[in-house]
Structure 1
Amino acid sequence: MARLRRVDCAAPGIARRRRGRGFEYRDEHGERIADPEVVARIQALAIPPAWKDVWVCAYPMGHIQATGTDAAGRKQYRYHDQWRQRRDAEKFDEMIGFARSLPRLRKRVARDLGGDDLGDQRVLACATRLLDRGFFRVGSEGYAADNDTYGLATIRKQHVTISGDTMVFDYAAKGKKRRVQRLSDPEVVGIVDSLKRRRSGGDELLAYKRGRRWVDVKSADVNAYLKDATGGDFSAKNFRTWNATVLAALALAASGPAATGSKTARKRAQKRAVDEVSRYLGNTPAVCRASYIDPRVFDRFDGGLTIGGVFPDLVEGEGGWPEIQPEIEQGVLDLIHEDEESGRLEKVA
C-alpha cells in the first residue's frame, strides 16, 4: 500500500477555476488538467462549490488533499481517508486515557465546588461539572461574536432559567440549531444562580471574581483547568467523545439479544443507538457515528458483546446518574478492551 506523505498546503498545487456551470483545474504552471484520473480524484473530494481560493494537493497520497475558504471566511480542509483513519484511531485512544482520568478529575471538581466564593477554581469546577453531565460544546468566542451561536463558555445569562435544583439552558448552538438542555445538580445550581443574578461583568453567564472585577471564562481557561486537574493533555472535546461512546454502548446493551439475531437487526439497533446519541449531542447521526462514537463499540456489538452485565447491579438510588455512572463507564472500558472475564459484559450471541 502506498504511504501517506505530509504536505504543506502553502506549496504549489492544483487550482480550481469556474468554467461555465462547473469547474476546471489548473496545475502550478497554469496548464489545464485533462488527465481523467486526476480529475476523478479531485471530484471525489466533493469540494463544496461555494468554497473560494481552492487548493488541491498535486499528490494522491498527500495527507491534506484540499483546502478552501468557506462562506464565513474560515479555512476548511479535506484530508486523505488514511490520514483521517489514523487520526481517529489516535483520538479514541486518547479518549481511553481521558476516561481513566475521570475519577481524579471528578474528585478535584467536587473539592473545588465545596468553596463559598466565586473565584476561578470554583467557577471552572462548575463549568467542568456541566461539561461532564450536560453534553455541551465548550464554545468559541469567535463563533459567539460572528454567528450568535454559543457553547458553554459563551452562553449568556438570558439563556438560563432555574427552578429549584433544575437548570434549563436554551440557546442557539453551532449551526444555529436550538438546544434545550436540562440539568439537575444541587452542587452547581447555586453557583449558576449567583452568576446569572450578578449585575456587573457583562452578559456571559460564566465569569469569576478576581479582586473587585469579573473575568469572563474562556474556552482556554476550561481546557487549562482540565489539564491541571487530570495531569493529561485533555480538552473539553474529550467529554463529548467519551459521553457519546458511553451512550451508544448503553443503547446497544438495552436493545437486547434479539437485536443481534440477524445482520438487519444489528443494523437497526445500531441506527437507533446513533439516533439517540444524536439527540443528546445535537449533531447529525452521520457526524456522531463518524466523529464521536468509538467504532469499537459497534465492532463488539457485531461480535455479540455488550455492557449488559452492568444492568442487574444498577439500582438508581438517591444519587441518581452520578452514583451509577462509574460502573457503567468501567463497563465501557472493559468492552473496548474485550475483557470477556469482566462481569460487566454480556455475551448476547
Structure 2
Amino acid sequence: MRPVTQAKKQTANNAVLKSMQTVSLIKSDVQFAAKKAGLSYVSDQTPGIRRYPVKRRGKTAFRYLTPQGKPLKDDLTLSRIKSLVIPPAWTDVWICAQDDGHIQATARDARQRKQYRYHKNWRSIRDEAKYGNMLQFASALPSIREKVSKALAMKGLPREKVIATVVSLIENTSMRIGNDEYARTNQSYGITTLKGRHVHLHGTQLEFDFRGKSGVQHTISLRAPKLSRIIKSMLDLPGQTLFQYLYEDAQPHAINSTEVNDYIRSAANGDFTAKDFRTWAGTTFAVKALLEIGAADTQAAARKNLVEAIRQVAKKLGNTQAVCRKCYIHPQVAISYMQGTLAEEWQACSRAVKKGKTVLAEDEAILARLLEKWQK
C-alpha cells in the first residue's frame, strides 16, 4: 500500500472542510428564509408526530401519536395533517408538531428516498428568494460546467458520469428533473424518469419524445456528439430506465432526482437545484424574446409584446404562461420592458462585458450584469 502523503491528507481535509462550510451556508440561508416567511426553522431530527398504519375492517387506516407518544386527538392538527396529502405508501413518516414549521412532514417513499412536505408560506418565500439567487447561480455555472465536463470524460458508465450527463441535458434542454410518483401514477415524465423508448438517436442527434407534467407532450431535439455516444451506451444496458450507471457489481442502477440535485449543490458549492437551470433559462429566453420583438410605442402594445414573449418562453419550458411568468422569469424583466428601459440596460451591460473578461458566454455575462444592476 502506498503511503498517504501530507499533501494528499491536506487535500482531503480541505475537501471535508469545504463540504462542511457548504452545509453551514445552506443551513444559514434556510434559517434566514424561514424567519423572513414568518416560520420556524425545524428539523425532523427533533421529536414530531408519527404516523402508524392500522387495519380496520380489512382496510388500512392510520393513527397518529404525539411527540409524547399519546394518541393525537386535536382536530385542527389532524386537519392540517390531512391537508398535507401524505401518500399512504410512504413510511417512516415524521410530521412537524408546529403548524408554523417550514418543513411540515418528511417520509420515505417506496424506494426509500426521503420526501418532504413544506409549509405553503415557505414555498412562496423560496420562489421569491430564487430570483435573488440568480446572480449567485450565474457565478456558480463555470464550476458546475467544469465538474460536468470532467465527469463526461470518464470511461465506462460510472455514477458520476451518468449524473453529469443528466445535468448537461438539463442545462441544454431545460427539461424538468422528474418525479417517480408522477411517472408511476400519471405516466408523466421528467429527465430522471425517462425510459429508453423516450429517446431516439440519429447519428449525433438526440430526439426526446415524452409526456411531461400536466399531460404536455414534449419533443426535444439536440445535436450533441458526446452525449449521444454516452446515451447509446446506456441504451445497451438491460432494463427500461434510460439513465442507469454501472456499479462495482456490474449491475445497472437507476439514478434519481435527489442524486442529481445533490450533485448540482456539490458542484456549485451552494443551495442550487435543477430548477435553477430552468429559472436561468426562462429569464434568458424572456429577455432575448423581448429584445427581438423590440420596444413598444404604447403601454397597451408593450403588454401585448410581453404576453407574446411569455408565450414563447412557456412553449420552450413546457409550462402554462401563468406558471412561467410567476416561477421562471425574473420579475424585473417585465418591469424594465414596460418602462421602456430593457434594451438600453442590455446595451450598457453589453459594453461593460466587452471591456472585461468573463468565463461565461457573452449573453450570459450580460444577463449577469443586468441582474447585478437590478439588485442594487
Aligned with residue 240 of structure 2, among 203, 211, 236: 203
The amino acid across from 2:281 in the alignment is: N
Q: Which residue of 1 aligns with 2:274?
A: 236
Q: Secondary structure at the match of 2:273?
A: coil
User: Which segments of 5 or more consecutive residues in structure 2 lack a partner in the other structure?
Assistant: 1-35, 42-47, 50-73, 85-98, 105-115, 352-358
Q: Which residue of 2 aligns with 1:286?
A: 322
Name the CA shift for 1:77/1:228 in 2 (closer, same or farther; >3 Å): closer
Name the CA shift for 1:186/1:270 in 2 (closer, same or farther; >3 Å): same
d(CA) in 2 for partners of 1:220, 1:84 = 18
d(CA) in 2 for partners of 1:228, 1:278 = 29
Alignment of 1:214 onto 2:255: no
Alignment of 1:103-252 (within 5 A): 103-198=142-237, 200=238, 202-211=239-248, 212-252=250-290
Alpha-carbon deviation of 1:93? 1.4
Instruction: Tell me, yes or no, if the aligned pair for 1:98 and 1:234 is still in contact at 8 Å.
Output: yes
Instruction: Tell me, yes or no, if the aligned pair for 1:138 and 1:219 is still in contact at 8 Å.
Output: yes
Aligned with residue 331 of structure 1, among 366, 372, 375: 366
Instruction: Tell me, yes or no, if the aligned pair for 2:189 and 2:211 is still in contact at 8 Å.
Output: yes
Give the alignment's Cα RMSD to 1 decimal.
3.4
Relative to the length of structure 1, the TM-score reads: 0.69
d(CA) in 2 for partners of 1:162, 1:187 = 12
Instruction: Tell me, yes or no, if the aligned pair for 1:171 and 1:178 is still in contact at 8 Å.
Output: yes
Q: Which residue of 1 aligns with 2:66?
A: none
Instruction: Tell me, yes or no, if the aligned pair for 1:166 and 1:185 is still in contact at 8 Å.
Output: yes
The amino acid across from 2:214 in the alignment is: G
Q: Which residue of 2 aligns with 1:21?
A: none
d(CA) in 2 for partners of 1:179, 1:310 = 37
Indicate the larger mover: 325-334 or 223-232.
Answer: 325-334
Alpha-carbon deviation of 1:221? 1.1
d(CA) in 2 for partners of 1:166, 1:310 = 37
d(CA) in 2 for partners of 1:263, 1:252 = 14
Instruction: Tell me, yes or no, if the aligned pair for 1:300 and 1:335 is still in contact at 8 Å.
Output: no
Q: Secondary structure at the match of 2:272?
A: coil
Alpha-carbon deviation of 1:332? 1.4
d(CA) in 1 for partners of 2:83, 2:174 = 34
Name the CA shift for 1:208/1:254 in 2 (closer, same or farther; >3 Å): same
C-alpha distance after superposition, 1:101-130 (max 9, x if no partner): 001111111121112211111111111100
Alpha-carbon deviation of 1:88? 2.9
d(CA) in 1 for partners of 2:189, 2:323 = 19
User: Which segments of 5 or more consecutive residues in structure 1 lack a partner in the other structure?
Assistant: 12-27, 31-51, 56-61, 68-74, 314-323, 340-349
d(CA) in 2 for partners of 1:208, 1:310 = 46
Q: Which residue of 2 aligns with 1:265?
A: 301
Q: Which residue of 2 aligns with 1:14?
A: none
Q: Secondary structure at the match of 2:133?
A: helix
Instruction: Tell me, yes or no, if the aligned pair for 2:157 and 2:246 is still in contact at 8 Å.
Output: yes
Alpha-carbon deviation of 1:132? 0.4
Alignment of 1:48-87 (within 5 A): 79=120, 86-87=125-126
Relative to the length of structure 2, the TM-score reads: 0.64
Q: Secondary structure at the match of 1:337?
A: helix
C-alpha distance after superposition, 1:237-296 (max 9, x if no partner): 111111101110111111223x2x211121112111100110011110011001111101
Q: Which residue of 1 aligns with 2:310?
A: 274
d(CA) in 2 for partners of 1:115, 1:78 = 41
Alpha-carbon deviation of 1:154? 0.5
d(CA) in 2 for partners of 1:130, 1:328 = 20
Instruction: Tell me, yes or no, if the aligned pair for 1:244 and 1:277 is still in contact at 8 Å.
Output: yes
